[in-house]
A and B are shown apart, each in its own frame.
Chain A
Amino acid sequence: MLTASHLSRRFGDRVAVDNLSFELAPGEIFALLGPNGAGKTTTLRMLAGLIAPSSGDIRIGGETLTRRNAPRLRQRIGLLTEAPGLWDRLSVRKNLEVYARFYDIERPERAVDEALDLFDIRNRAADPAAQLSKGLKQRVALARTLLHRPDAVLLDEPTSGLDPESARDVRELVLRLRGERRTVVLSTHNLDEVDRVADRVAVMRGRLVALDTPSALRARVFGARVRVVLATSEARFAATVNAAGFQDVRTTADGLSVGVDDPQSSAPEIVRRLVEAGAAIVSVTDEQPPLEDVYLRLLSEAQE
């Protein structure tokens, strides 16, 4: 649905985005992670046809984005900017109606009514946008972004500054977009959010540092680990697992953490050995180090 090939963008001598490539499928949620100034917003702006890449190209639904066809292809893109960008004096309804007309929606009033219902803001439709809370403004901005049912939705820090309830609403919406087979590109600093919704993650620092699924990135940075919680943690159980050929075994307060090549095939063997040794197993899980640790490690490796 959305392809970036060797995308680069320079501002004078500064390289904001360097040789970025990815291909996104319909219904995929793709997160862009990176520190401030890493080129996330520039990437989103290029994908939205707002600024042209210095080199490389973007394809939307198989068609290469150019200056000439950008206005037409923008019809297939929905961009949520970092700030909601509502016209403060106008009512919520008027804000949405104007945008519905920009996108040439056949029955704009009906589309706006549906959006107001979908985002549960009908009771505030007549209020000037200036009177809304930050969370509500973001909801209106999201409604505006999705009014024309774009194939690709680009979200620039959609939960920034929102309270937990509003942030959860946004996350649920993003997941709903996946169900509707829309491609979502999400730029964020919220790693928990990425962990919850993203299918794939690109860690950027101007250039691409890493691109994979969150679990694959974890495995790549920290290796795969199986965590076994035991009713009683005893040192001999670590030796048992070690004797079974697992070299990287750590004893924790409530059990063991075992480094493995493949959790799917290794976990049953570990469990079998422990049960034979008389261990009372409470739970066995695929150990997930926080994505934040993965992210920071990747960035520090990229810097070295």
Chain B
Amino acid sequence: MKRAVALLGKELADLRLNPALFLPAALTGFVSILLPFFVAIVVPAFAGERLSDSSDFQIAVELYRVQPGLRDLSSEGAIQAWIFQQFLVLLILTPVAASMSVAAYSVIGEKQARTLEPLLATPLTTFELLAAKVAGALVPAVSLAVGCFVLYFAGVAAFAEPGVYQALLTPASLAIVFLLGPLAALVALQLAVCVSSRVNDVRSAQQIGALVVLPIAGLLVMQLTGSFLLTLPVIAALTVGLSIVNAALMMVGIALFDRESILTRWK
């Protein structure tokens, strides 16, 4: 694995020198963080109305009131906690968006820059090459997601009603950000790397890898409509499912990575 670590070091060094590559992902993360603050705090403040004045959110009040330890939350706080909880799913999008552009470029980029052939002429195995490419996209993506998570919770602690922060900081929230987020990102970027080693155009890889965004968006909608809630058992099941998908994708990636066709078919 020493060789994979060496290539990972190169990938990260290259990214440090090209921070613009992460700008779209950072923007996605920033918007993901900002959106619930607008809904829960900024809009009501400008409108001069409290969320608890509306009967639409009574379900949130009842949901939080029945949970031990959260009964002391004000009605406004319970609704804010519910909103911030639902939008937490958006934080899964941050690593996906962040990893996509990097992963999509990983193999095609090397080919276009004519750096792939010398790389393939080294003792580096296909597994080492793909592992380094995947990790090279995942590490910065997860770092960005963690940064967003910290900002999100700092914002909640600073601007939301008292007790909302504690209501949000649950094992489920942590699992969404630190387990589901990276695993979903891993699926996306492995897909992108697989595609990156088969197509001749970075855009194709990005578009196919972006398909992973669709289930995440679906998850958010289902959360908001209350038809599907990310409880701990659901998160555990998703974690197992995504882990299996990731292992399978790595094997598929190795099988699909055809050095010969990459060298001879692409121009």
Asked if A71 is at the interface (CB within 8 A of a chain B CB), the reply is: yes
Nearest-CB distance from A42 to chain B (Å)? 8
Q: CB-defined interface of A34-52 with B at 8 Å, one 1/0 digit per residue? A: 0000000010010011111
Question: Are A102's CB and B124's CB within 8 A?
Answer: yes
Asked if B67 is at the interface (CB within 8 A of a chain A CB), the reply is: no
Residues in A with CB closer than 8 Å to B113 are 85, 87-88
> In B86-121, which residues have CB < 8 Å from any A CB?
113-121
Residues in B with CB closer than 8 Å to A98 are 6-7, 9-10
Of the candidates B7, B10, B116, B122, the one having the most CB atoms from chain A within 10 angstroms of its own CB is B122
Nearest-CB distance from A172 to chain B (Å)? 22
Q: CB-defined interface of A58-89 with B at 8 Å, one 1/0 digit per residue? A: 00000000000001101101010101011111
Take A51-B260, A87-B10, A90-B14 as given contacts and tell me if A103 and B122 are in contact as well, using a CB distance cutoff of 8 Å.
yes
Nearest-CB distance from B123 to chain A (Å)? 5
Asked if B125 is at the interface (CB within 8 A of a chain A CB), the reply is: yes
Q: CB-defined interface of B177-196 with A at 8 Å, one 1/0 digit per residue? A: 00000000000000000000
Residues in A with CB closer than 8 Å to B9 are 98, 101
Q: Cα distance A241–B122 when bound, in Å? A: 60
Question: Are B123's CB and A89's CB within 8 A?
Answer: no
Q: Give the residue of B10, B17, B259 whose beta carbon is less than 8 angstroms from that of A50.
A: B259
Question: Are A71's CB and B123's CB within 8 A?
Answer: yes
Asked if B71 is at the interface (CB within 8 A of a chain A CB), the reply is: no
Asked if B227 is at the interface (CB within 8 A of a chain A CB), the reply is: no
Q: Give the residue of A42, A74, A86 whose beta carbon is less than 8 angstroms from that of B121.
A: A74
Residues in B with CB closer than 8 Å to A128 are 17
Take A83-B114, A89-B14 as given contacts and tell me if A71 and B263 are in contact as well, using a CB distance cutoff of 8 Å.
no
Q: Cα distance A52–B261 when bound, in Å? A: 11
Nearest-CB distance from B178 to chain A (Å)? 30
Residues in B with CB closer than 8 Å to A104 are 2-3, 123
Residues in A with CB closer than 8 Å to B17 are 89-90, 128
Q: Give the residue of B3, B117, B121, B260 whose beta carbon is less than 8 angstroms from that of A101.
A: B3
Q: Give the residue of B6, B114, B260 whose beta carbon is less than 8 angstroms from that of A85.
A: B114
Residues in B with CB closer than 8 Å to A94 are 10, 13
Please report whether the interface of chain B is mostly helix, strand, loop or mixed according to DSSP. Answer: helix
Take A87-B14, A90-B13, A102-B3 as given contacts and tell me if A141 and B121 are in contact as well, using a CB distance cutoff of 8 Å.
no
Q: Give the residue of B3, B10, B114 whose beta carbon is less than 8 angstroms from that of A81.
A: B114
Residues in B with CB closer than 8 Å to A85 are 113-119
Nearest-CB distance from A62 to chain B (Å)? 19
Interface size of A as a range: 20 to 34
Asked if B18 is at the interface (CB within 8 A of a chain A CB), the reply is: yes
Question: Are A141's CB and B118's CB within 8 A?
Answer: yes
Nearest-CB distance from A160 to chain B (Å)? 13
Asked if B264 is at the interface (CB within 8 A of a chain A CB), the reply is: yes
Residues in A with CB closer than 8 Å to B117 are 50, 79, 81, 83, 85
Residues in B with CB closer than 8 Å to A72 are 123
Residues in A with CB closer than 8 Å to B10 are 87, 90, 94, 98
Find the B residue at minimum CB distance from A101: B6
Of the candidates A48, A52, A145, the one having the most CB atoms from chain B within 10 angstroms of its own CB is A48
Question: Are B121's CB and A77's CB within 8 A?
Answer: yes
Q: Cα distance A277–B42 when bound, in Å? A: 114
Q: CB-defined interface of B107-150 with A at 8 Å, one 1/0 digit per residue? A: 00000011111111111110000000000000000000000000
Q: CB-defined interface of B1-42 with A at 8 Å, one 1/0 digit per residue? A: 011011101100110011000000000000000000000000
Take A51-B259, A89-B14, A94-B13 as given contacts and tell me if A11 and B264 are in contact as well, using a CB distance cutoff of 8 Å.
yes
Asked if A218 is at the interface (CB within 8 A of a chain B CB), the reply is: no
Residues in A with CB closer than 8 Å to B263 are 45, 50-51
Question: Are B121's CB and A103's CB within 8 A?
Answer: no
Asked if A144 is at the interface (CB within 8 A of a chain B CB), the reply is: yes
Of the candidates B2, B121, B264, the one having the most CB atoms from chain A within 10 angstroms of its own CB is B121
Residues in B with CB closer than 8 Å to A42 are 264
Nearest-CB distance from A2 to chain B (Å)? 15
Nearest-CB distance from B109 to chain A (Å)? 10
Asked if A99 is at the interface (CB within 8 A of a chain B CB), the reply is: yes
Residues in A with CB closer than 8 Å to B264 are 11, 42, 51
Nearest-CB distance from B251 to chain A (Å)? 17
Question: Are B13's CB and A71's CB within 8 A?
Answer: no
Residues in B with CB closer than 8 Å to A83 are 114, 117
Nearest-CB distance from B191 to chain A (Å)? 25
Find the B residue at minimum CB distance from A74: B123
Question: Are A74's CB and B122's CB within 8 A?
Answer: yes
Question: Are B14's CB and A99's CB within 8 A?
Answer: no
Residues in A with CB closer than 8 Å to B118 are 79, 81, 85, 99, 141, 144-145
| Given A50-B259, A79-B121, 6 further pairs, Cβ under 8 A | A51-B259, A89-B17, A90-B10, A102-B3, A102-B6, A102-B7
A-B contact pairs, 8 of them (CB 8 A): A45-B263, A49-B121, A71-B125, A83-B114, A86-B115, A87-B14, A87-B113, A128-B17
Q: CB within 8 Å of B: which residues of A? A: 11, 42, 45, 48-52, 71-72, 74-75, 77, 79, 81, 83, 85-90, 94, 98-99, 101-104, 128, 141, 144-145
Which 4 A-B pairs rank lowest in CB-CB distance, beginning with the nearest?
A101-B6, A83-B114, A79-B121, A102-B122
